[in-house]
Structure 1
Amino acid sequence: MSAGLAKNRRGDLAPTVGGEVLFFDVFALRSGLFDYEFWGGFGILTGSWFFDTGFATHKALGVSYMASVTVPFGRER
């Protein structure tokens, strides 16, 4: 859980709150609010790759979606 203040698109301070729940170190569920707009998403974590997806609401644009796949490589330090 987190809470704070951040500048929005207009440069004003806006409240932020969010949280993440991790199930069995494999599935993450996330949600939050920024400037009174909802953000959410989920992630799948494995030993060799990560998949993340999310969405955000916007008063003028509607809903935006984003996704990413991360494959780490190289030697761990």
Structure 2
Amino acid sequence: MLSSNEKPSTKFWKLAKQIKKDQKYNPGVRMSIRKDEVPIDLANLIKKGIITKDDLTDFSPELLQDLENVL
């Protein structure tokens, strides 16, 4: 789409339309997160197979310990 020879404004509006369509029909993972519930939310994401513990290696040791307590 972006590499076509169309005018930039035409490409922009096509891309905007596609983004809107994708957001409507394929929103991905949506959830609200509160700071005090992060370990619980991360545990749920791990249990559902959405993320793994390896994805969290850059998190603080304190948060990782809290997560282990929940799991």
TM-score band, normalised by shorter chain? under 0.3
TM-score (norm 1): 0.24
Work out which structure has the larger RCO, using CA pairs closer than 8 Å and 6 or more positions apart in sequence: 2
Greater helix content: 2
Greater strand content: 1
TM-score (norm 2): 0.25
Indicate the structure (1 or 2) with the bigger Cα radius of gyration.
2
